């Protein structure tokens, strides 16, 4: 099984992992990205992710297809959260199964790097002091301030 999705709710990691079980595959690798409590010297109480969902799903699906072309016989799942997340919550999950570990490790790294670089996802850090700030994403998107949605003109 393979697929990419955006989820507004918490992720069921055991179910995701189970979906990648394949009797022809002997290796599994996963990446979990969690919300941390500190960034750039500031105490963070959470994050808010804004996602252009249709484009993110399309681009995420393309990333998984590229990984299959590059690493061969793999199954892969990627999920990125949207909405407000607290410290410690899972924000992104990538899992890959393959016949051997080299492909699983390589594909997992390729997928998470591509997700961080290419997906239309904007991140607002919510600080303990009560203020917030849109932060620059890896894909080069501009941060936004004053509570404006980074893609208010998108459905």
- CA 86/CA 70 separation, integer angstroms: 35
Q: Is the pLDDT of residue 153 over 90?
A: no
Contact 99, 73 (CB under 8 A): yes
Of 89, 87, 83, nearest in space to 32 by CA: 89
Whole-number pLDDT of residue 25? 98
Whole-number pLDDT of residue 48? 98
Whole-number pLDDT of residue 2? 79
Architecture of the domain defined by 3-33+56-120: Alpha-Beta Complex (3.90)
What are the pLDDT digits (tens) for 26-69?
999 999 999 999 999 999 999 999 999 999 999 999 999 999 99
DSSP string, 132-151: EEEE--TT-PPP--TT--TT
When pLDDT is cut at 50, 70 and 90, the band that residue 155 belongs to is very low
**The length of the chain, given as a count of residues:** 155
- CA 47/CA 51 separation, integer angstroms: 13
Whole-number pLDDT of residue 113? 98
Regarding pTM above 0.85, the answer is: yes
Whole-number pLDDT of residue 138? 60
């Amino acid at each position: 099984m393979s697929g990419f999705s955006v989820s507004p709710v918490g992720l069921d990691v055991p179910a995701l992992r189970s979906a990648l079980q394949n009797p022809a595959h002997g290796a599994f690798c996963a990446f979990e990205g969690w919300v941390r409590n500190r960034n750039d010297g500031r105490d963070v109480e959470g994050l808010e992710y804004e996602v252009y969902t249709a484009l993110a799903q399309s681009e995420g699906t393309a990333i998984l297809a590229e990984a299959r072309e590059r690493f061969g016989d793999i199954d892969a799942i990627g999920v990125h959260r949207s909405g407000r997340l607290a410290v410690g919550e899972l924000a992104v999950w990538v899992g890959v199964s393959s016949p051997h570990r080299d492909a699983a490790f390589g594909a997992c790294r390729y997928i998470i790097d591509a997700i961080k670089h290419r997906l239309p996802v904007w991140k607002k850090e919510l600080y303990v002091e009560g203020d917030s700030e849109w932060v620059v994403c890896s894909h080069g998107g501009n941060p936004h301030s004053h509570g404006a949605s980074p893609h208010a003109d998108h459905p």
